[in-house]
Amino acid sequence: MKYADLIRISEALKLCPPEFSVSEQRREFLLRFDKLFGEQCSEFSSELGRFYHRQVDRVLEEVAAYGGSAPRFWKLYSSGFLIKDAGKVIAFDINNGCVHLNGRASVFLKPSHISKLAALIDECYVTHSHSDHISGELCDALVRRKKLLVMPDECRFSWRVPRAVAAEKLNCPGIYTYLNWQGTAAGGLDCAMYHLTLSNKKTVWVRGDIYHAEGFMGCMDFLDANKLGVDYVFATHYSTSGPEPIPFLDEKYHCRFIPIHEWEFSHRKPGKPGPATQCFEELYRVYNNCYQQNRAQILSWGESIALD
């Protein structure tokens, strides 16, 4: 993998920035990332790590400078993203990057990134305790700065963040939380769903990771009971039982989609070639119906899109 190749693709993508519209150019460039990211040992490549650090720096600079009227979304690694809305920066599932059990990968946040993120972020929401959805270092930095940090109580205990707010007890205007189980009868953990109303009255639905029938339909029942609509869905499409989440949400809300959990190296055997969880080619297949109707877009690291 060559750093120069990664930069060329990233610079080419700037000429066709993300919008909720069909772009064959964007598709072509993201599939080129698939080829490079899919190389053997790519997650350990210093070139890929250097590229990720560049993209994080881009996000930090853009978020700090952004003063537009429309809420805006920025993509980080896997499930992590930021929204800046009316001057407030809201974070979801910011993680340290790809960390393998048998050796650290190159795609990770540097201490300087953690410090700058903690200064920028006003509110941070964590869906559950898996390490690709939370950064212990960022949590500590946010708590020290007295920023709002929300996560399930089980997550507070397992990550030892007692000063975080339990999602079960959150009382914050414009934000609804619903906690249920992620897993099967054999085991699992608590996972929070967040429903957020932005300043432009658009609504956002976020829930991390894999769905099963009871958990997913519990979320839907909660939305119905509270008469909540959904304009934007930031989620993964994987499920182990029950309805396929993306077609179900599409039919129910006719909403817009931005996939999260893309190119999750932690779910690929370390050092092996081939696609990781939700490579871009896979996402185009899954979201194609919504994409062709200008209601879905796939973002690479560091890219942003207006939520208007």
Q: Which tens digit of pLDDT belongs to each residue from 19-57? A: 999 999 999 999 999 999 999 999 999 999 999 999 999
What is the pLDDT at residue 157?
95
3-state DSSP call for residue 145?
coil
User: Residue 270: is it exposed, middle or buried by C-beta count within 10 angstroms (0-12/13-18/19+)?
Assistant: middle
Which DSSP helix (H) or strand (E) runs through 24? helix 24-37
- Whole-number Å distance between alpha carbons of 81 and 59: 10
What is the pLDDT at residue 188?
77
Decide if pLDDT at 184 tops 90: no
Q: What is the pLDDT of residues 212-221, one digit of tens each?
A: 888 899 999 9
In this prediction, residue 186 has a pLDDT band, given cuts at 50, 70 and 90, of: low
CB atoms within 10 A of CB 282: 17
User: Residue 29: is it exposed, middle or buried by C-beta count within 10 angstroms (0-12/13-18/19+)?
Assistant: buried
The percentage of residues in the chain with a pLDDT greater than 90, rounded to a whole number, is 86
